[in-house]
Amino acid sequence: MKKYALSLLVLTLVLVVASLSLLWFAPASFQTILALLPLYFAVITGLIHYGVVRSFYKDPRTFVKNFLGLTVGSLFLHLCFLFIWSLTHIPSAKIFIIGFCICYVAYLVFETLALLLVVRRARRDNPGPSQQ
């Protein structure tokens, strides 16, 4: 879990620095909220990872159900957040949606790869009866 937290921190810092550098060179219409957007995704991704990994070690048979449920739930949360922000900040909605989608894809790929590594490590450490 420490390695995951460190990797999540590095990804978040890279995206925050990229967002802040865009603030330096971007026009005045660029919003500072885009620099804080990776922090939102880091918190949500960390909580989802913790919940899914905890449920995997508790009962591996429900892993797929829990993973899909949390993924769909977080997608719904992200879409609600995106919809509300876009309605309240119409002039800058296009820039925000592009930044939001970039962060979403980056954190989705990161989370999927991290969970894949956890499952592979658990299966390697505890092979089933057909693998022995």
Q: What is the dihedral of CA 127, 46, 26, 32, to 10 degrees?
A: 180
Rg (CA), the chain: 18
**Each residue's pLDDT tens digit, 35-69:** 788 888 999 989 888 888 888 888 878 888 888 89
Pairwise pLDDT comparison (126 vs 46), residue with the higher score: 46
Output the average pLDDT for the chain. Answer: 83
Q: Which residues contact 96 (CB under 8 A, 6 or more apart)?
A: 31, 33, 34, 82, 85, 86, 89
For residue 73, pLDDT over 60 is answered with yes
pTM for the predicted model, two decimal places: 0.79
